[in-house]
Chains A and B, each alone.
Chain A
């Protein structure tokens, strides 16, 4: 197997799924005309200006950029938000998004829209800070990362305790603000409690199906996925190396397997895409933060595959559309998966 460096030197058409001439045309057309929203990205960093070209080649119309708040430091996370927002506002080809219509307007204008989420929420005990965050532009927040915080337990924690009383308050506050709630990193009980407690539908915006890789705690069980869908929620499938499969070679086919499974389990209206794509070496990042931020041991993750064949970089985004075509999805289904479902829930919760 070639190295990541060598892989990224390959021409795109060699990294892409092979399609018949007819399917090729269909995939290209679908990718161009659909409203495409990636529900979880990390594309804004110090290298943003160097990365603009590949972001544009992805042809994604909207990205839900995650402001990482690893230490749950509120002032620090708002500073980062400000910095990211400035980069977006200053670039002629990007616009910030604060509501569903902003995504549609951006597509019409040939620009890419960026909406912002907090990963995870950094409000501490003062959950009222959610109001400040909303005022500064945050439209979605993860309740917990992989460990415990004031509101719940993460999927990599020693216990699976569910929401605390403060957690119930935060859910209520986010509902009243129209801020989307994401449960991607929460433990099972916390996920179920939040689905139950929230008046609005909620999301797991960068996950996969636990049934396909049982020891990986970042993936959602059938029970959780069904509860999510029953209340109108949406699950975004990720492309995170070593979180969809334990195999040494992983890629777009694994992602498509998870999409297939979830569509079959909860229906095509409740599945979307949230890649968690980064520009750097994602696996190396996990390796370095294995014991601190990510607690890889506790979530059951290995570091076997060095990258995701076919969906390693944002410019391989069209490969998802190609893969859905190859797997026999209809145009209507593909449009829902690529962005229709994401737009619907954004409109319903945020407005």
Chain B
């Protein structure tokens, strides 16, 4: 197997799924005309890792996506530093002629019409501490999506890599009410099972698990959602975004787009075509190396059952390989209508419903 560096030097057509002429044309047309939303990306993050926005702009543009939810990762889950990062990141986008900041569903539609790409902002995880008034401030500063916890415990719930699976605290119940009131989309991707189920139950609005996969396909990995969680999510109108994170869909030494498509297939089968989306968690750096370095602190890779066997994701390692998802769905026999839902329609719908 070639190294990640060698892989990234391969021409796109060598990284892409092979299609026949008809399928090729169909995939290209779908990718061009559909409103495509990546529900969870870390392409601009420049605090924990080094990613140069201007250097990466051409790759973001070649992805063909119309919008993405870019995550702000608060250092130490603290509020003031996270607002500073939000400010700096928004500035980069506002100053670039080809990008706009999205604060509502309509902003995505307008961006596509204007030939631009739109970024909505998420906070991963919420950094409000005990002071839930901060949720309103974050909203005012542009946050529209919030993760309740990362992999460990915080004031509102337990993460999927925690020693306990305790569910929401009283403060957690209050926070959900505040987020519902504000119209902020709640993401449960990193929460433990009990916290996920309780949040789904308690929230008045539908919620998301926007960068996950199906636990049934890889039972040891606690970052993936059980059938029970996925069914509960869909029953209340929620959406599950399938990720492309290396070593979080499979433990094989070689992983890639096919694993991602397997998870999409499984989840569509389980909860239906209206409740599945894409949240790649794509970055430009070596994500496996990042996981390796932040193992003890941020990710607790061991505790969440993850093994770092594969060095990258063949076919969906970089943002410019995003069209490969559309190609893959074509090759797996999905209809045009269904593909449009998965690559953006369902995401847009839930953003419209919750955020407005």
Contacts and interface: CB of A to CB of B under 8 A. Distances in A.
A124 B162 CA distance: 16
B162 A164 contact: yes
A125 B77 contact: yes
Interface stretch (A103-111, A146-154, A268-276, A301-309): A146-154
A5 interface: no
22 contacts: A72-B129, A124-B77, A124-B129, A147-B169, A147-B171, A148-B155, A148-B169, A150-B152, A150-B153, A150-B154, A158-B167, A158-B170, A161-B164, A162-B164, A164-B153, A164-B163, A165-B152, A165-B153, A165-B303, A166-B152, A166-B153, A295-B170
A159 interface: yes
B155 A149 contact: yes
Contact of B78 (A124, A147, A161, A165): A124
Majority DSSP secondary structure for residues of A touching B? loop
Interface in B89-146: 129-131
A290 to B, nearest CB: 14
A298 to B, nearest CB: 7
B71 interface: no
B166 A161 contact: yes
A198 B11 CA distance: 57
A71 interface: yes
A244 B154 CA distance: 31
A219 interface: no
A163 B164 CA distance: 8
B129 A71 contact: yes
B150 to A, nearest CB: 10
A166 B163 CA distance: 10
A125 B163 contact: no
Contacts of B200: none
Interface in A21-45: none
Chain A's interface size range is 20 to 34
B152 A164 contact: yes
Interface of B: 76-78, 129-131, 152-156, 158, 162-164, 166-171, 173, 300, 303
Contacts of B300: 165
B166 A153 contact: yes
Interface string A160-201: 011111101000000000000000000000000000000000
Contact of A124 (B76, B163, B167): B76
Nearest to A72: B130
Q: Which of A126, A147, A148, A295 has the most CB of B within 10 A?
A: A148
A165 B169 contact: no
A340 to B, nearest CB: 37
Interface in A119-134: 124-126
Nearest to A166: B152
A253 interface: no
A197 to B, nearest CB: 11
A157 interface: yes
A164 B152 CA distance: 8
Nearest to A124: B76
Given A151-B153, A157-B169, A166-B152, 20 more contacts: A71-B129, A125-B77, A125-B78, A147-B170, A147-B171, A148-B155, A150-B154, A150-B155, A158-B167, A159-B166, A159-B169, A161-B158, A164-B152, A164-B153, A164-B158, A164-B162, A165-B163, A165-B300, A165-B303, A295-B170
A126 B163 contact: no
B306 to A, nearest CB: 15
Of all A-B residue pairs in the complex, the 6 with the closest CB atoms, nearest first, are: A161-B166, A164-B153, A148-B169, A161-B164, A159-B166, A125-B76
A324 to B, nearest CB: 39
Contacts of B130: 71-72
A151 B155 CA distance: 9
Contacts of A163: 163
Contacts of A165: 152-153, 162-163, 300, 303
Contacts of A157: 169-170
Contacts of A148: 153, 155-156, 169-171
A158 B169 contact: yes
Nearest to A189: B164
A192 to B, nearest CB: 13
Contacts of B76: 124-126
Nearest to B151: A165
A68 to B, nearest CB: 13
B181 to A, nearest CB: 19
A162 B169 contact: no
A162 B300 CA distance: 18
B198 to A, nearest CB: 10
A150 B162 CA distance: 11
A347 B163 CA distance: 33
Contacts of A150: 152-155
B310 to A, nearest CB: 26
Contacts of B164: 161-162, 164
Nearest to B130: A71
Contacts of A158: 167-170, 173
A147 to B, nearest CB: 6
Nearest to B194: A159
Nearest to B297: A125
A159 B158 CA distance: 11
Contacts of A164: 152-153, 158, 162-164
Interface in A189-243: none
Nearest to A152: B153
A339 to B, nearest CB: 35
Interface in A70-120: 71-72
Contacts of B169: 147-148, 153, 157-159
Nearest to A71: B130
A95 to B, nearest CB: 34
Q: Which of A71, A126, A163, A164 has the most CB of B within 10 A?
A: A164
B167 A159 contact: yes
